Amino acid sequence: MAEEMHIIAALVEDRPGVLFKVASLIRRRGFNIDTITVGSTEKEGLSRITMTMRGDERIVEQVVKQLSKIPDVVKITELKPTESVYRELAMVKVVAQDPEKKSDILNYISIFRGRVIDASKDSLVIEMVGNTKKINAFLDLMKGFGIVELARTGIVALGRGSKSTAE
Amino acid sequence: MKLSGAKAIVDSLKKEKVEVIFGIPGGSTIPFYDAIYESDLRHILTRHEQCAAHMADGYARVKGVPGVCTATSGPGATNLVTGLAVAYMDSSPVVAITGQVPKPMIGKDAFQEADIVGIANPITKYAFQVTSASQIPDTIKTAFLLASTNRMGPVLIDFPKDVFYEEVDIAAAEKLNIKGYSVRSGEPHPYSIKKALGLIISSERPIILAGGGVMASNASAELVKLAELIMAPVATSLMGKGSIPETHPLSLGMLGMHGRGEANNAAEEADLIIAVGMRFSDRSTGRLEEFGRNAKIIHIDIDPAEIGKNVKVDVPIVADARKTLSTLHQKLSEVGSKREENEWTKRVHELKDQFSSNYEEQREGLRPGRLMKLLRGIIPGNAIVTTGVGQNQMWAALHFQVLEPRTFITSGGLGAMGFGLPASIGAKVASPDRPVFNVDGDGGFIMTEQDLATAVSEGIPTISIIMNNRVLGMVRQWQCMFCNKRYSHTDLGKVPDFVKLAEAYGAEGVRIGSYREFESAVKRGLKAEIPVVLDVPISPDEKVYPMVPPGKGLKEVVWYG
């Protein structure tokens, strides 16, 4: 965690093979990506790819420059963590047989402002939204109870203020 | 007007002013070939698709317009891969047209199906698959635009077989829709120019490093003018050979691992490096930590991603080389920055004198350097030389002085053996009135030798000079220098009789036993009407010197081994 996290947001044409091209370029040039998410945007025909990575400025600059050479990439920018909002969703299934432990878990969920979205007699599925640090902290706590299964979305982000990334 | 997809492709190619197409037909491209049959497009039937791609590449590099190759689905398409990778690494505009299995069969592992779009993705600027004939006019227009603008490169268009049969209205508007790509004006930013001028004016020992981008932007004349104005010597990368006539007093020849001593030393001693259309490849810079340590660096390149990729620069100029060089020249002339002979130019002459005797070859037998110098003396300045890869390529680069841009065609970035012969054929098709020589090795020649049949059948007389050492010479040289002479699998054993081989194809073969025989064969080759192969036996112990061992700085040069 020594290196600063970088968020890269790309608006890409919503065409078959675009994610493949982005992923292929990242692999070919040996860039290390922590998370990558893809989804639709406010504009028809455009998707948004959000990536996070760790590395020095020069590598991030290369990632941005190389990706912007793909003709399907319409716009790409680095979102500075200080000038953007970013969130990740994690769903975690935790062992909760012992009523005392279950109550502890529910307490933690409340402190972290998560939600229980499914429960059985000996487990809970918890939804947790937040920045990566918060989710990691919550998951660390849950490890003590026993994590059965975990799914994370990776980060999505928007710049602060009224401007759009596409501008 | 309604046309079949296949005819629409031919129509679009003609609109892009395509005159010739290199390729081999196959099951998936039968309808396309049926449309070629009745068109006036020249088609050159190659004997291997790899050669079709190399020929299109050689053609493109000589003419400066996209070269076109075609192959059928599956193995035809995969055979193009090496050629496309060469064109990609050397930023050459090649358009490849491939057949694909019909749409309903895609993904079913059909006969001769290969995901060529997926395979080609990392070695092309763009790879299209056309899924409806209605996309043909736009796609082809876009493909040629992508291939030939900004930093040029290969583009592949894949056509499922059923698309060839679909009808299309070609009167439809040809509008391009690529939001993420715009053709750069190439104009340098005034602020960058101002900063560059400052560095140039305050420099005492400027050097220009010229790369393939100088050829791509046809900036050779502007480069020489700027060099003369500020009395900056010019070293080139392998791809940059031809940027400046190498007989020019300010030319230092090639830089880098097998660069000339004067070029490498001057680059180390300079206080300002003006890099033009070159990408600071590891073969040009030597140890990066030491490269340009004492110099400020101005980097002119059309591709913003090249700025800062390998070397940190002081002034980046993302622009067209020709426009930038001419702007710099104009502004410097205005402020009266013309320089005369000075301490630095004296030092450059001194370096040239210091190393000149090192290039002389004393031993007996046919020596590569002398052969290259003899060749230069005989053939006209506008003659084209293509090369193989390895020792032959480096001997040509070191000792064959290139006088005009686009006359030295070589696989620089990828270093693909087998490039020489097909590239020479493509070059000759591009420029039939000029002599074309392929300086090759026996190892590389044999990789694409079957396309002598193409040259003979199509009447494309190029002259191959095979520096025949019966070994994979460059690897053997490294084994000699760095593996304690453990020659693991670099001896080719019994190589074919290249004279008989040439004759078997219907070409002329000549075995060379002396410099005199070489000279007379080259002279006769200039007038030959069929392809010629000169078998020039040389010693397997010949090495390429000087050499900067890998991982070393440019001054740590080895001259003898």
Which residues from B are below 8 Å from A21, CB to CB? 121
Provide the shortest C-alpha distance from residue A18 to chain B (in Å).
Answer: 10
Residue of A nearest to B128 (CA): A17
User: How far apart are the C-alpha atoms of B60 and B54, rounded to whole Å?
Assistant: 10
- Would you state the structure tokens that stand for residue B396, as one six-digit string? 């040509």
- Indicate if the pLDDT at residue B96 is higher than 80: yes
A24–B121 C-beta distance less than 8 A: yes
Where do we find the tokens 């635009």?
Answer: B145
Q: With an 8 Å Cβ cutoff, is A63 touching chain B?
A: no
- Indicate if the pLDDT at residue B445 is higher than 60: yes
pLDDT at residue B163, as a whole number: 98
Q: In sequence order, which residues have a C-beta less than 8 Å from that of residue B100 and are 6 or more positions away?
A: B28, B73, B77, B106, B113, B116, B129, B158, B159, B160, B161
One domain, residues B374 and B513? yes
Q: With an 8 Å Cβ cutoff, is A62 touching chain B?
A: yes
Q: With an 8 Å Cβ cutoff, is A28 touching chain B?
A: yes
> What would the pLDDT profile of B184-241 be if each residue is shown by its tens digit?
999 999 999 999 999 999 999 999 999 999 999 999 999 999 999 999 999 999 999 9
A70–B305 C-beta distance less than 8 A: no
CB B264 within 8 A of CB B255: yes
The pLDDT of B393-413, averaged and rounded, is 98
Residue of B nearest to A11 (CA): B180
What ipTM was assigned to the predicted interfaces of this complex?
A: 0.86
- Would you state the structure tokens that stand for residue B367, as one six-digit string? 């020596």
- Would you state the structure tokens that stand for residue A116, as one six-digit string? 């229980």
The beta-carbon neighbor of A65 closest among B117, B146, B304 is: B304
User: How far apart are the C-alpha atoms of A123 and B319, rounded to whole Å?
Assistant: 61
pLDDT at residue B555, as a whole number: 84
List, by residue number, the catalytic residues of B.
Answer: 49, 111-112, 161, 474
Residue of A nearest to B302 (CA): A69
> What would the pLDDT profile of B78-95 be if each residue is shown by its tens digit?
999 999 999 999 999 999
Residue B548 within any structural domain of the chain: no
pLDDT at residue B175, as a whole number: 63
The beta-carbon neighbor of B180 closest among A13, A62, A65 is: A13
The pLDDT of A111-129, averaged and rounded, is 96
B126–A71 C-beta distance less than 8 A: yes
A71–B178 C-beta distance less than 8 A: yes
CB B57 within 8 A of CB B88: no
- Indicate if the pLDDT at residue A83 is higher than 80: yes
Identify the DSSP state of A17.
T
- Indicate if the pLDDT at residue B543 is higher than 90: yes
Where do we find the tokens 């502004």?
Answer: B331
Peptide bond into B550 cis (omega under 30): no
One domain, residues B207 and B317? yes
One domain, residues B385 and B521? yes
The pLDDT of B118-141, averaged and rounded, is 95
- DSSP one-letter string for B27-76: GGGHHHHHHHHTS--EEEE-SSHHHHHHHHHHHHHHHSS-EEEEE-TTHH
Which residues from A are below 8 Å from B179, CB to CB? 13, 74
Closest CA relative to residue A90, chosen from A53, A54, A117: A117
Q: B365 exposed, middle or buried (CB, 10 Å; 0-12, 13-18, 19+)?
A: exposed
Work out the percent of chain B whose per-residue pLDDT is above 90. 91
Domain of B375 in residue numbering reads as 365-537
pLDDT at residue B360, as a whole number: 78
Q: What is the mean pLDDT of chain A?
A: 92
B303–A69 C-beta distance less than 8 A: yes
A17, A37, A129, B486 from A153: Cα distances, Å? 21, 7, 10, 53
Q: With an 8 Å Cβ cutoff, is A34 touching chain B?
A: no
User: How far apart are the C-alpha atoms of A98 and A145, rounded to whole Å?
Assistant: 10
Domain's final residue, options B298, B333, B356: B356
Residue of A nearest to B303 (CA): A69
Domain's final residue, options B292, B326, B356: B356
pLDDT at residue A25, as a whole number: 92
The backbone torsions φ and ψ at residue B272, rounded to the nearest 5 degrees and listed phi first, read -145, 125
B303–A13 C-beta distance less than 8 A: no
- Give ∠ CA B135-B139-B144 in degrees, rounded to 5: 160
Q: How confident is the model at residue A2 (pLDDT cuts 50, 70, 90)?
A: low
- Indicate if the pLDDT at residue B23 is higher than 90: yes
The beta-carbon neighbor of A72 closest among B118, B180, B305 is: B180
CB atoms within 10 A of CB A139: 17
One domain, residues B148 and B197? no
The DSSP bridge partners found for residue A47 are A12, A40
One domain, residues B317 and B414? no
- Would you state the structure tokens that stand for residue A100, as one six-digit string? 């005392």
Which residues from A are below 8 Å from B122, CB to CB? 24-25, 28
Residue B547 within any structural domain of the chain: no
CB B424 within 8 A of CB B21: no
Residue of B nearest to A46 (CA): B179
One domain, residues B272 and B218? yes
Q: What is the mean pLDDT of chain B?
A: 96
B180–A65 C-beta distance less than 8 A: no
Pairs across A and B, CB distance < 8 A: 39
CB A102 within 8 A of CB A124: yes
A21–B121 C-beta distance less than 8 A: yes
User: How far apart are the C-alpha atoms of B557 and B561, rounded to whole Å?
Assistant: 11
- Indicate if the pLDDT at residue B134 is higher than 70: yes
CB B273 within 8 A of CB B207: yes
**SS3 assignment, position B110:** coil
The beta-carbon neighbor of B122 closest among A28, A61, A72 is: A28
Residue B480 within any structural domain of the chain: yes
One domain, residues B323 and B411? no
Residue B184 within any structural domain of the chain: no
B303–A73 C-beta distance less than 8 A: no
B169, B178, B389, B561 from B183: Cα distances, Å? 28, 11, 33, 49
One domain, residues B322 and B400? no
Domain's final residue, options B116, B140, B169: B169
CB B208 within 8 A of CB B49: no
Residue B183 within any structural domain of the chain: no
CB B57 within 8 A of CB B83: yes
Provide the shortest C-alpha distance from residue B367 to chain A (in Å).
Answer: 41
The beta-carbon neighbor of B305 closest among A66, A74, A75 is: A66
The pLDDT of A106-120, averaged and rounded, is 96
Q: In sequence order, which residues have a C-beta less than 8 Å from that of residue B77 and are 6 or more positions away?
A: B49, B71, B98, B99, B100, B114, B116, B119, B158
Strand ranges of the sheet holding B463-468, from the earlier edge strand across to the other edge: B408-409, B384-387, B436-441, B463-468, B532-537, B508-511
- DSSP one-letter string for B243-296: SS-TTSTTEEEE-STT--HHHHHHHHH-SEEEEES----HHHHSSTTTTTTTSE
- Indicate if the pLDDT at residue B365 is higher than 90: no
Crossing angle, helix B321-334 and helix B220-230, to 10 degrees? 30
Which residues from A are below 8 Å from B117, CB to CB? 17
- Indicate if the pLDDT at residue B560 is higher than 80: no
User: Chain A interface, mutation test: which of B91, B100, B116, B121, most A Cβ atoms within 10 Å?
Assistant: B121
CB B28 within 8 A of CB B78: no
- Would you state the structure tokens that stand for residue B148, as one six-digit string? 């030939």
Work out the percent of chain B whose per-residue pLDDT is above 70. 99
User: How far apart are the C-alpha atoms of A90 and B131, rounded to whole Å?
Assistant: 39
Q: With an 8 Å Cβ cutoff, is A30 touching chain B?
A: no
CB B238 within 8 A of CB B414: no
Residue B223 within any structural domain of the chain: yes
Q: With an 8 Å Cβ cutoff, is A84 touching chain B?
A: no
The DSSP bridge partners found for residue A139 are none
One domain, residues B85 and B216? no
One domain, residues B92 and B132? yes
Domains of chain A: 5-79 (3.30.70.260), 85-158 (3.30.70.1150)
Provide the shortest C-alpha distance from residue A72 to chain B (in Å).
Answer: 5
Q: How confident is the model at residue B357 (pLDDT cuts 50, 70, 90)?
A: confident
Provide the shortest C-alpha distance from residue A58 to chain B (in Å).
Answer: 8
Q: How confident is the model at residue B356 (pLDDT cuts 50, 70, 90)?
A: confident
Q: How confident is the model at residue A1 (pLDDT cuts 50, 70, 90)?
A: very low
Q: With an 8 Å Cβ cutoff, is A19 touching chain B?
A: no
One domain, residues B370 and B339? no
User: Chain B interface, mutation test: which of A56, A62, A69, most B Cβ atoms within 10 Å?
Assistant: A69
Residue B128 within any structural domain of the chain: yes
- DSSP one-letter string for A32-96: -EEEEEEEE-SSTTEEEEEEEEE--HHHHHHHHHHHHTSTTEEEEEEEPGGGEEEEEEEEEEEE-
- Would you state the structure tokens that stand for residue B177, as one six-digit string? 């829709």
Count of structural domains, chain B: 3
CATH of the domain at B67: 3.40.50.970
Residue of A nearest to B182 (CA): A71
One domain, residues B157 and B283? no
User: How far apart are the C-alpha atoms of B295 and B207, rounded to whole Å?
Assistant: 10
CATH of the domain at B272: 3.40.50.1220
Identify the DSSP state of B471.
B
Which residues from A are below 8 Å from B303, CB to CB? 69
Residue B554 within any structural domain of the chain: no
Residues in chain B whose beta carbon is closer than 8 A to a beta carbon of chain A? 117-118, 121-122, 125-126, 146, 178-181, 303-305, 307-309
